[in-house]
Every structure is written in structure tokens, then in C-alpha cells.
């Protein structure tokens, strides 16, 4: 079963506009599926190359100039290079292709933004349009399932996450198998293959620590002490995990007012299913003690996806004071602040006192399992404070 992705029509809009289309995203988020769907409109006028395959690597290794690269393009209108980061000198070769054949469409995908982005940044300056494909969003699921079915499936989404193949798997056993493959064969393979990762066991332990602490504020000093590595190494490895689409960070919101914490950050797993399989805990909600953390991570991840689906530059933050007052998510949209509290069950009726005093014109909303679709599907953004 294919669940249509919001990004697909946006990609189609950029076809044949003189730009290389670059699609980032973890393995199994659906990058290959989307580009193959695009290719169906061009049938014999397109070609698909997989950078994981030795034949593709050899083909590009032997093509060193416009003439020999031209043999790869041939008469095709569209050339797709999947997992392009696996190909040596891919940045320079893509530059030659787009400069020599501006009327052709090159599409490159990459499972690790740190790797592909580093390889194409300089040679392809001004020559690309870039997209990021995340696991499924609530809006995408609702358009296929409807709101009633989504609510029925919510417990499974909290436990098994939103990777397309996992969501559409026919049994819980199949979901479990797919998640284990994602966590080991795919995610770790891409992250650990990055040439600046020198201590694979440390990175694995760091990933597990992040999974355990999702939604918590993180201390780089504490992580470095626990893992017995330098602080800068810990920060560097967190950067790799973030660019490998395993986690993301929220920084604290502050306008330097008294009592506000302004130099902190929280870690979140991008997908609950990957987080849970890393912790070897796929138990149902009734047997879990971390339902609140799962719900918070689920909702904050949805905000992260929403940034990209709507192409908004509105940053996401959290807010906390030294007296332990807290707002889970803060969105700054053109100077207007939207504050969100995330609760699985009983919401607070009012925001923290110091938030109201400091930001009296902000909007406030509690997000619970009873109203979350208002925010992410029907888009009732917020009620007033």
C-alpha cells in the first residue's frame, strides 16, 4: 500500500528548471519510491542508477570528463542517482553534468545529509534545490486513512513509529522485524560509514543513551564523562546522528529575561519506533512507564516534519526557567510566539505564570490525544492565552 507523500508534487514542480534535485532522508523513508514514481511519467526517457551497486560506482569512476559522463546521460531526459554519497567525487561529476547538459534533469538522493551535503556543497553552489524526506506525517496518514482510523492506530504509531514500510506492515511481528533492520542494517551502516567516526562502539552507546533520554535536557559534559570521550567528540557525534536522521535537538528559547535558561538543549529521537527498538522495548502502552515521553517525542517530531512540509523557517524551541516552569514547544512565527504544552492525558488550563508575564501577547495551547489532530491536520493553530 502506497501512502502519497506531500513532497512529491513539490519535487515535480522543480523538474527541468536547470537545477539538480537533491533528496535527503534516512533509508526506507521512501526516497526511491518517490523518484521511481516520477520516472514512470518518462518511461524509456529516464535511467535509474544506484550508488550502492558496484557497477554504478565503477561506471562513474571511469567517467572523468564531460564526454565520458555523457555516455551515462545518453538520450535520457532524467537521470536518477540513488544513494549518490557512495560515489567518489560525486560533487564534481554532478557539476559537470548539470553544466554540460542543462536541459536534462539530474536527481540525486542521499541517506546521510552529512556525507552527501559535504561532497556537493562547494562544487554545486547555486545549482541545486534540496528536499528532506522524513517518516510519514500525521497529515499524510490522515489523507489516506481518515481521522477515525488514525485514532484507532495511534497506540501502534507511538510504539512502532512512522516509517512507511513499518506503518503498512500487516502484523506486529513484521513491524518488529522491519524496525530491527532499520536500526542495524540501514541507520547504523550509513552513520558508521562516515569517515570521521573513529569509535563505532562509542557512537552506538551514545545512540542508546539518546534513545533513553529523549525529551530530556542534555549535558555535553555529562555525556562525555559517561562515554569517556572528549566534550567536542560528543558534540561531533551528536551532529552526525542528527544529520543521519536519528535524532534532532531543540534549543532553549530566551530573550535574556530574568530566570530564563538560555543555553540548554533537548534531544529527541526522530522516530519513536527506532527509539523503542534501540531500547529493546516494543511493549504495548498498558505495560509502559514512558508513555508521557513517547507522546512528547511523537508530537515534537511532528512539529519538526511540519517545518519542512510547509516550507516554513519558523524555528522550534522549548522554554524553561530556573524555578522549573516549562513550555514544551515554542514556535516563533514572524515574532508571534505560539507556546505548546504536550500532555498525554490531563492538560493544564493556563501557561506558566512567568510565561504570561514575559510574553503576554503569545498564543497558548495544550496538545493531548484528544485534540492533536487540530494542530497537525485541521490546522487550528492555537487559542489565546
Dihedral (Cα; 350, 250, 131, 58), 10-degree rounding: -150
Grid cell locating 303: 512539529
| CA–CA separation, 285 and 219 (whole Å) | 29
With H, G, I as helix, E, B as strand and everything else as coil, classify residue 21.
strand
Residue 296 CB burial class (10 angstroms; 0-12, 13-18, ≥19): buried
Contact 338, 382 (CB under 8 A): yes
Contact 284, 155 (CB under 8 A): yes
* pLDDT for res 321: 92
Give, in degrees to the nearest 5, the angle at Cα 351 between 348 and 357. Answer: 160
Please list the pLDDT of the chain residue by residue as tens digits (385 residues). 899 999 999 999 999 999 999 999 888 899 999 999 999 988 789 999 999 899 999 999 999 899 999 999 999 999 999 989 889 889 999 999 999 999 999 999 987 665 677 778 778 888 999 999 999 999 999 999 999 999 999 999 999 999 999 999 999 999 999 999 988 766 666 666 665 556 677 877 888 888 888 898 888 888 888 888 889 988 888 888 888 888 899 999 988 777 888 788 999 999 999 999 999 999 999 999 999 999 999 999 999 998 877 766 788 999 999 998 999 999 998 889 999 999 998 877 789 999 999 999 999 999 999 999 999 988 655 444 4
Grid cell locating 384: 489565546
With H, G, I as helix, E, B as strand and everything else as coil, classify residue 318.
strand
Could you give the angle at which helices 147-160 and 291-309 cross, rounded to 10 degrees? 110
| CA–CA separation, 79 and 21 (whole Å) | 10
* pLDDT for res 126: 86
Grid cell locating 27: 533509508
Amino acid at each position: 500500500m502506497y501512502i502519497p507523500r506531500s513532497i512529491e508534487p513539490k519535487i515535480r514542480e522543480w523538474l527541468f528548471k536547470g537545477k539538480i534535485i537533491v533528496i535527503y532522508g534516512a533509508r526506507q523513508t521512501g526516497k526511491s519510491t518517490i523518484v521511481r514514481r516520477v520516472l514512470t511519467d518518462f518511461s524509456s526517457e529516464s535511467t535509474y542508477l544506484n550508488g550502492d551497486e558496484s557497477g554504478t560506482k565503477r561506471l562513474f569512476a571511469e567517467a572523468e570528463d564531460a564526454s565520458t559522463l555523457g555516455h551515462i546521460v545518453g538520450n535520457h531526459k532524467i537521470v536518477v542517482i540513488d544513494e549518490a554519497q557512495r560515489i567518489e567525487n560525486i560533487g564534481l561529476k554532478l557539476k559537470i553534468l548539470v553544466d554540460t547538459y542543462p536541459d536534462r534533469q539530474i536527481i540525486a538522493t542521499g541517506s546521510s545529509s552529512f556525507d552527501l551535503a559535504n561532497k556537493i556543497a562547494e562544487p554545486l553552489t547555486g545549482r541545486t534545490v534540496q528536499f528532506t524526506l522524513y517518516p510519514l506525517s500525521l497529515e499524510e496518514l490522515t489523507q489516506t486513512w481518515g481521522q477515525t482510523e488514525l485514532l484507532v492506530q495511534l497506540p501502534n504509531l507511538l510504539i512502532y513509529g512512522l516509517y512507511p514500510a513499518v506503518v503498512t506492515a500487516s502484523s506486529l511481528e513484521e513491524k518488529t522485524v522491519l524496525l530491527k533492520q532499520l536500526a542495524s542494517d540501514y541507520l547504523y551502516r550509513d552513520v558508521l560509514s562516515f569517515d570521521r567516526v573513529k569509535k563505532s562502539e562509542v557512537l552506538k552507546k551514545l545512540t542508546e543513551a539518546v534513545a533513553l533520554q529523549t525529551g530530556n535536557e542534555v549535558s555535553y559534559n555529562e555525556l562525555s564523562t559517561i562515554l569517556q570521550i572528549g566534550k567536542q567528540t560528543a558534540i561531533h557525534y551528536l551532529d552526525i546522528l542528527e544529520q543521519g536522521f536519528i535524532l534532532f535537538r531543540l534549543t532553549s528559547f530566551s530573550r535574556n529575561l530574568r530566570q530564563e535558561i538560555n543555553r540548554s538543549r533537548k534531544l529527541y529521537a526522530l522516530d519513536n519506533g527506532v527509539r523503542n527498538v534501540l531500547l529493546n522495548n516494543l511493549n504495548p502502552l498498558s505495560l509502559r512507564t514512558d508513555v508521557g515521553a513517547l507522546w512528547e517525542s511523537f508530537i515534537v517530531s511532528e512539529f519538526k516534519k511540519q517545518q519542512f512540509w510547509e516550507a516554513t523557517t519558523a524555528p522550534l524551541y522549548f522554554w524553561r526557567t530556573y524555578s522549573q516552569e516549562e513550555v514544551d514547544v515554542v514556535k516563533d512565527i514572524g515574532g508571534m510566539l505560539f507556546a505548546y504544552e504536550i500532555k498525554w492525558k490531563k492538560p493544564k488550563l493556563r501557561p506558566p505564570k512567568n510565561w504570561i508575564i514575559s510574553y503576554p501577547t503569545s498564543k497558548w495551547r495544550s496538545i493531548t490525544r484528544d485534540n492533536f489532530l487540530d494542530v497537525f491536520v485541521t490546522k487550528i493553530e492555537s487559542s489565546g492565552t
